[in-house]
Amino acid sequence: MTVDDTSDGRAPDPGEHPDAGGTTQQESPTPPFWRRAFDSLKVPVLAVFSALVVGALLIMFTDEDVLYAWARFFNDPLRALERSATTVWEAYSALLDGAVGSPAAISESLLRATPLILAGLAVAFAFKAALFNIGANGQMIMGAMFAAWAGFSLDIPGPLVILASLVVGTLAGAVWGGIAGVLKATTGAHEVITTIMLNFIAGFLLAYALTTDAFLPSGTGNPVSKPILDQARLPRFISGERVDLGIFLALGAVLLIWWVLERSTFGFQVKAVGLNPHAARYAGMKVATITALTMAIAGGLAGLGGATIPIGPTGTLTAGIIGFLGFDAIAVALLGKSNPFGVLAAGLLFGALNAGAVTMQAETQIPVDIVIVIQALIILFVAAPALVRAIYRVRTGDAESPLFTSSWGSG
Single-letter code of the amino acid located at 261: L
- Between CA 54 and CA 206 the distance in angstroms is 37
401: nearest Cα among 129, 136, 181 = 129
Stretch that binds other proteins, among 166-174, 177-185, 293-301, 364-372 (CB under 8 A): 364-372
Burial of 356 (0-12, 13-18, 19+ CB in 10 A): buried
From the CB of residue 78, how many other CB atoms can be counted at a distance below 10 Å? 9
- Between CA 163 and CA 178 the distance in angstroms is 22
DSSP 28-51: SPPPPHHHHHHHHHHHHHHHHHHH
Longest dimension (CA), the chain: 76
Q: Give min distance, CB of 157 to other proteins, in A.
A: 20
Q: Does 31 bind other proteins (CB under 8 A)?
A: no
Buried b (16+ CB within 10 A) or exposed e, 271-288: bbbbbebeebeeeebebb
What is the x/- site pattern for other proteins, positions 196-215, by CB under 8 A?
A: --------x--x---x----
Q: Give min distance, CB of 127 to other proteins, in A.
A: 25
Q: Which is nearer to other proteins, 67 or 224 (CB)?
A: 224
Buried b (16+ CB within 10 A) or exposed e, 134-147: bbbbbbbbbbbbbb
Q: Which is nearer to other proteins, 163 or 362 (CB)?
A: 362
- Between CA 78 and CA 337 the distance in angstroms is 42
381: nearest Cα among 345, 346, 334, 340 = 334
What is the x/- site pattern for other proteins, positions 211-250, by CB under 8 A?
A: x-----xxxxxxxx-xx--------------x--------
- Between CA 228 and CA 220 the distance in angstroms is 16
Stretch that binds other proteins, among 79-87, 165-173, 231-239, 274-282 (CB under 8 A): 79-87
Range 276-335, binding other proteins (CB under 8 A):
309, 313-316, 318, 320-321, 323-325
Q: Which of 296, 355, 383, 403 binds other proteins (CB under 8 A)?
A: 355
Q: Which is nearer to other proteins, 4 or 82 (CB)?
A: 82
Note whether 403 and 131 are within 8 A (CB). no
Note whether 107 and 238 are within 8 A (CB). yes
Q: Which of 51, 66, 111, 348 binds other proteins (CB under 8 A)?
A: 111
Q: Which is nearer to other proteins, 19 or 82 (CB)?
A: 82
Q: Give min distance, CB of 112 to other proteins, in A.
A: 6
What is the x/- site pattern for other proteins, positions 36-75, by CB under 8 A?
A: --------------x--x--xx------------------
Q: Give min distance, CB of 384 to other proteins, in A.
A: 14
Q: Which is nearer to other proteins, 89 or 408 (CB)?
A: 89
Provide the binding-site residues for other proteins, judged by CB under 8 A. 50, 53, 56-57, 81-82, 84-86, 88-90, 108, 111-112, 204, 207, 211, 217-224, 226-227, 242, 309, 313-316, 318, 320-321, 323-325, 354-355, 357-359, 361-362, 365, 367-369, 372, 390-393
